[in-house]
Amino acid sequence: EVQLVESGGGLVQPGGSLRLSCAASGFTFSSYWMHWVRQAPGKGLVWVSRINSDGSSTSYADSVKGRFTISRDNAKNTLYLQMNSLRAEDTAVYYCARDHKSWGQGTLVTVSS
């Protein structure tokens, strides 16, 4: 069974940093492209970033380009999202997703002073 478990969320001040993790199991992690998608409270889904299977190619939404970095450790079956220069508008539940079909339960990031 495919399992994706996000962690690392929490309360952070504006301008601060946070690193999210997504632990994957139940499939060959190194074979799949992975995504981060976020959802602000009461709002819709917004794609954040994508990384290819070996980590050599990444894409970002314009709203996070230059501030967020996606990476992966295939030996640890783990996906990461390093978030710097956080803003109030980054407040959301962050989900990792495998291709388009499997999603985690999310981790909440709150940016507030």
Residue 59 or 74 having the CB closest to another protein: 59
Residues 79/61, Cβ–Cβ less than 8 Å: no
CB of 97 to another protein, least distance (A): 8
Choose the stretch contacting another protein; rule: CB under 8 A; options: 13-21, 22-30, 79-87, 96-104: 96-104
Residue 97 or 109 having the CB closest to another protein: 97
Burial of 6 (0-12, 13-18, 19+ CB in 10 A): buried
The encoded tokens of residue 34 equal 């992975």
The answer to the question of residue 47 lying near another protein (CB under 8 A) is yes
Distance in angstroms between the alpha carbons of the first and the last residue of the chain: 40
Q: 50, 69, 84, 110: which one contacts another protein (CB under 8 A)?
A: 50
